[in-house]
Structure 1
Amino acid sequence: MPVHQGCAQASEGYAHNWLPYHVVSAEAGGSAGLPCDIDSELADEPVLVRWFRFTNSSDGAPFYILDDVQRRGIWNANHDISVDFAGRAYFSALSSPASLQLSRLGPADAGRYLCSVSFHSGEVRTHNVSLRVGGMCQLASSQYLVEARFMFQVYSNGDICLMNVVSASVPVLTDGEGSILASTIGPYYIGHNLRINCIVEKGLPTPSIVWKHNGVPIVDANASEGSDDRSSTNKYRVIARPRTEGAHSILNIGRLGRDELRATFSCETSNEISEQPLETAITIDLILPPLTVEVEHGGVSYTAGAQAEFRCRVTGSRPFPVVTWLLATRKLEAFFSHVSDEDDGNTTVSTLLLTMSPVENGQKLICRVINHQLPGSTWEDSVELNIIHPPVVFLRGIGGQDTLDAHVVSQSQDVTLECTITANPPATRVFWTLNDRLLEDNAVMRNSTLSATTTIGKPMRFQTTRLTLRNATASQHNGRYNCDVTNPLGSVRSNDLDLRVRYPPRCHPSVDKVYRYGASSKGSTKTIPTLAIRCHMDADPVDRLRFTWIAYNTSGSREWHVFHPSTYQVLNETTSLLSYRPSSMNEETTIECWANNTVYVNNSTKGPEPCVFHVEQYGVPPTLEGCQVINQAQSWFSLECDSLRELDDKSKEFYVLELYNADNGQLLVNVTSDEPAFQVTDLPDATECIAQVFAVNDKGRSDPSRVIIQAISPPSKLLTSGRHRFTQ
């Protein structure tokens, strides 16, 4: 039975037509040198070298040409190489004889080659080479026998083919684009379809390929050579590809899921002569959204002013997420963050230390999570803060035509004061005070000037109380307002609200209302004096008061008269002085002093009040008013009366005090004074007295004004005064 070594006959050569040839054997995937002698015994120089290949499809054209060899030499000559041999064929003169070096040989490269050398002298020399590549035998059956370093395969005609065996090479993993994969690949999004190629470039007999997932072989019942059925519902699909040498297998992974994170996929290969399987593995990295976001906290409620710890635990996100704390819309800074890797991603814990404030009660504390590899998506969890605190109170004014920013209103305006309360637990009591005096919501207040309205919601965190002042006046409503609020944690007083009620001018109580005149004599002529009538106004505001004086005669025509500004002067912001001279001795005139300021006055509000003065002829003085004891001891007392009259000549009027025993009516003391003020001493012990005070002029004396002087027993020092009912 003929035996072929390397799938070529053992003889060195044989005649084929007219060309001798050399036999060169090589292994698939290896390299070979095809000899071509370019030396000449006549010292002739080669100028052109061409290589031809004889195949059934050959067109007779050279596939490798060296041109201009004589002038430029082998290395620098023009090398023209066909596409089939580009990158794996070059002509070398380093060996003897020179040779065409071929690499990465395959069975398709086997065949006959012809080298043609043209010399400068015109000589042409040819060399015929037969290239044999291992594995080129055509088998009649798949039976073969591996013995030592050779594999015996049987031809259909009974001949034996002896080939060199090759161990399986290390598998190479590539992606669908042909890029080599190594170590960790990705990261990929969830749902991505992944294709991995396993290529074993060498191996005779043909290597087997086994895919493994985390070390466990992948069994695909649908696997078939050449199949590419991507519509299969299997998670993993294995597809075998034909290859002239080595082996090629494809693993399709449909819709990557969280289970594939850090999963190892390996390609294991071996053949009959491999000492042990060779394996190349890759690990898959994924981009994963968080599995859970949870705010962990230590209690149901918190105390204002205390510090509380919150933790936001995020699991399953890859890469690790960015955690942001928000209180309502305000961003907070985390105290500490920690990231730990887990099998399904990682766990991120962000810790927040927050000092509780009453204003944050009821607000949401939010942990918001983003993964920069998943733009446009956020995950969050929140907790509503229940902060226990005493009342927080703010008092302000609302309503009315005038702004209450400065807490200024106009007379007769309705004013509402609002006490805004934040309290948890809710407020249980609300009180209003004016200048520290407690205001009560009673019938008197509602029917007169004050109305207090209190609204307290039981579960509500925000409570509003209001105090309404009806027809505000300065005398009753000016002052400092507060609302006092109580809940189970304490009582709190609000800020001060100083209310100022502006009002139009009105006559000051201290103004003298009666002016009397008498004639003075100069020789035989009597002259009527000029009276200086002083008008003093009470107003708010007092700046830019405008005064007007008018008069009407009550004893005659009763005609009105408006005084020209030249007849009066403005002494200060609130005082005007009128110079007035009666026209006759028997004139009785009423004079009014009016003033206006900037306070708005309409038909429903009370306008300015004038000072009304009565000018009359000097006569018997009127009864003194306002007489009262201003100081008293056991044996003495001081008494004063009001002096509200303006006289042209005060020397003509004096004042008398008569002191009587209250029990028997006996006159005890008679005192005269130029002013309606007296000091009486040497009082009888333990005796109640009655003082009668008169004003006296040359026309007579006034009716008495009576004051009871009560007896004082030691150690009492003070005594109240009052009017006595008896008459003398």
Structure 2
Amino acid sequence: MASQRGNKMEGVRLMLLAAIMFSTCLDQAQSALISRTVGVIGKGTRIYCNVSEPAPASQVTLTLWFKNNSKKPMYSYDARSRTPREWSDSNYFGDRATYEASEDPPYLRITDVKETDEGMYECRVDFRRLPSRRHTSRLNVIVPPGAPKVLRNDSTYASNGIAGPYNEGTNITITCQVKGGKPPPQVKWWREGELQDAELEKSIGGEYRNILKIGPLTRDHLNAQYVCQVRNHELVPALSTTVSLLVNVPPLEVKILDPPSHVVAGKAHRVKCRSSGGRPHARITWWLDGQPFKTFRTVNETNGTLSTLSFTPTKEDHNKVLQCKAESPILQHTPIEDSLKLDVHSAPKVVSIDIETPDPAYIKEGDNVTLWCRVKAYPKVQEITWYHKGIQVQHNLEEGVKVGKQKLMMIGIEKQQGGMYSCRGTNAVGDGQSEPYILEVKYAPVCNFNSSEKVGIARNDQVVVQCRVDASPGTVTFKWYLRTKTKLINIPTEWYTVQDRTSSLNYNVTGIYTYGDILCYATNDLGEQANPCSYTLVPAGKPEPPTNCTASNHTADAFYVACVPGYDGGLEQEFVVLAFDDKNERLIRNETVRGAPAFTLEDLPPESDYLVKVYAQNVKGKSVEQVLHGFTLPSAQPGTAVPATHIFPITPILGVLIGVVAALVLVAVVVVVVMKLRGDTRTIKGRPEGGAKGPHSPLHPAKDGDDGPDVILCRTDSTYEDVDGIPQKLKHANIYETVPYDTKDKNSKNSESADKDEVAYAELTFSNGKSKSKKSKKAGANGAVRCSEESTIYATIDHSRTAAHQKQQGMQQQQQQQKQLQQAQQKQKDLESMCQVETDSIPLMDAALESNV
């Protein structure tokens, strides 16, 4: 029984197993007949109607689509009429579905897939002569996951893509979180293309997380980028987000940039130090020999920190260590540093000037003295120079001066070598000057002025004579003597007083104390002065008149007067100049000066003559007056440029030279005019006796086409009397001038000169100022003197001089004119006297007048 029961149970078990196996095979067979389609939300997809046996499309009459075993179609395609008609249930697709009947196999196109579109779809195809066919498809709708987000260690979102900052050495976690997604997404962590973590944790509410553990953190984690990648289907692009780690690390390097080979004491220097590799920016500090600097400037850069220190080293900073330290402002660690040993160069410092002599406290003339310059400097001094009263001392063995590298030797010192001394040391940095050292040299008294002076005094008058001496020591005594031609007289002590190094003598010429030489001797501890101070007493009186007085540099409103001073009569003198109007003898100027008798008389009326008197005066009276003449030139016409005239003194030597030059010029003019007039003797002899005529005609009368000039008579009205520089007594002369022809012959020689408006000839007729009806004297054997107003002088004008040469000579003539015009009146008198007698010579035109013509 038991065996039967067991057989039955085994049979039932076998039957159940067979049923299961059959059901499984049936499901597999059915699923093999069902096609699968995937659609992504928001995108399009196709559901194929793939009947097993192909049939011509023309045989298809109706196609119906059903969903999830529904009895009512959701979509139909009716091809029974010529124009197929489509219908779509608005509860399912609406206008999102389109049937592509002409495709092989045909399919239902769905746009903008929605999650509700997922399910089983069956298409039924009806034919004209064939039985209907069915095809089943399953549409799976893919729902993409949401954008991944990263949570930091503190469960806050890393919205800016940065996690941290975290300190070096700590352990941290970062979490990638994503919501939604069908099928469930894969969440993975990557770093530089290497998978870090793929483990997925599902949380409540459809959130998926992957937690990545990192640590302990090192410098390698600084700015490391971790990528969280999320994906749930191959049709859906993977989503990712990146997060960078911020790790606080200490600075990696610090360096002093371009350290100087040396620094100079007292000069400002700038030193830069850069730190790199730290996060956050390192804190930089500066130290000198363990002492921190309080002031410096720090700038945070992209790759580090730059600090600039400005400091002024001193000599005491030599060999001290300058440090630049960098440390993290957050982490606790040992600062890193870079250092620089300072090589401080400094200008020399003169510590002192030492003296080497037998008795430094008492140095007198003739002693040997050595001065030492004590200098401290780095680098060493290259040169030491000595100065005496600000003037550099030169090496001179002949005068007993020897300049060494560090010392100054003076053999047989003299009093003038005393005074202030200083030394200067020089090295590559600069100079160092010592404090002044006063070297006092003792010496016997000497006069501190010219040892011989002349003093004027009248008999029974009193004069104060001062004797001033220099001496060291300065305590001196005085003695006064009168030295005559026969004896030396001691002057009583009650006649003079002493104050410091000055003695004042009240001297009166009376009795035995007469005129002669007064001698002053001073004595100190070193003895009596070798050469006394001497004063020569001479009788006082009026001064002598000044000599060689000249007036020069005449302008329209001023002229200059200078003289040579005469003897002052033994007293201080001054000079007086008086200027009178030459016409009415009215006093115009009264000026007094001391020193040299030189005057500039200014603000005078133009074109005027003046009588000038110069004399000297002192307390005894005044000298004889020196009389001379001066004048001012005519003022310039409106619109005419007046050449600048500089007032400068004309010395007597210069006046003599000007007179010599003027005499030579006059001799040359005489020779030229005499030779010219002798060639015209026939013309002069052909005139009637008593030949008083009107204005003289030209030597060569003009003809049409001639190259010679026309002679034009200048009018004798007042306009032609205002000739610059002509004395009043010469202004009655008749002046003729010529102008060139306006020739039409362009090839002639005068065609060029005509363009230059040059003058070929000029005539000048002198009148003696008497009645015009007076007849002239008869001509002599060798010539005639024309004393009437028709008397004519011919002068040839030299055209060979250029304008530049004329301008240069014009300046010289202006200076000569000043001297010559002073002699013009005298020459005019000579000409008038010559008109009364017969002579073989012809009156000459004054050089000053010729230059103006």
* TM-score computed with the length of structure 1 as normaliser: 0.31
Higher strand share: 1
Q: Which has the higher contact order (CA 8 A, sep 6+)?
A: 1
Q: Which has the larger radius of gyration?
A: 2
